[in-house]
Amino acid sequence: MKFFVDTAEIDQIKELNELGMVDGVTTNPSLIAKSGRDILEVTKEICSIVSGPVSAEVTALKADEMIAEGRKLAKIAPNIAVKVPLTWDGLKACKVLSDEGNMVNVTLCFSANQALLAAKAGATFISPFVGRLDDINLDGLDLIADIRQIYDNYGFKTQILAASIRSVNHMSECAKIGADVATAPASVIKAMANHILTDKGLAGFLADIEKAKIKIL
């Protein structure tokens, strides 16, 4: 499973990228607004750091305007994936932009039917929101499984990009189900390294080293 980091913080992206933990980046206007910088400037810098897809989201709601914004965003760098919402206008924009050879990430997906439409419109990525479904007492992971089954049934090439990831459990479950990508905050990706038994074992190991007065350097 590929890891995309869901942030516009340059330092976080660089740290994970240097460790080989970043296969791409997802951003949105809200994340970039937190940085206080120009959206095009930040997006261009992110594209220069990572070689994988960088999702940049349109702000328009009408298809023609989404297409115009998407074309402008796509000119930033060859690894831009234009992010459009899963609305009827968004699907229209997806079709046009993907037919022009652009990567398109269709976001705000909450049903298997929506994911099926996005695949037929030529989406490169579909972004089902796991955590937001959990918030309303639905199992977001069930949606990932449903989309995986449908796409496999018919050979759709659209990649499942599990989004709204809130926990390390979400990451491992998405991997088991077969999500192609999971996008998560840097804090969640880094937390995957943590385990209480690792901490306990390391504490015992360090105590033995101290007791034996072992030194390597």
Catalytic residues: 83
Q: Determine the Cα–Cα distance for residues 88 and 103; give it in Å rounded to an integer.
A: 18
Which residues lie closer than 8 Å to 165 by C-beta, 6 or more apart?
Answer: 6, 130, 131, 171, 174, 182, 183, 184, 185, 188
Whose tokens are 């910088």? That residue is 37
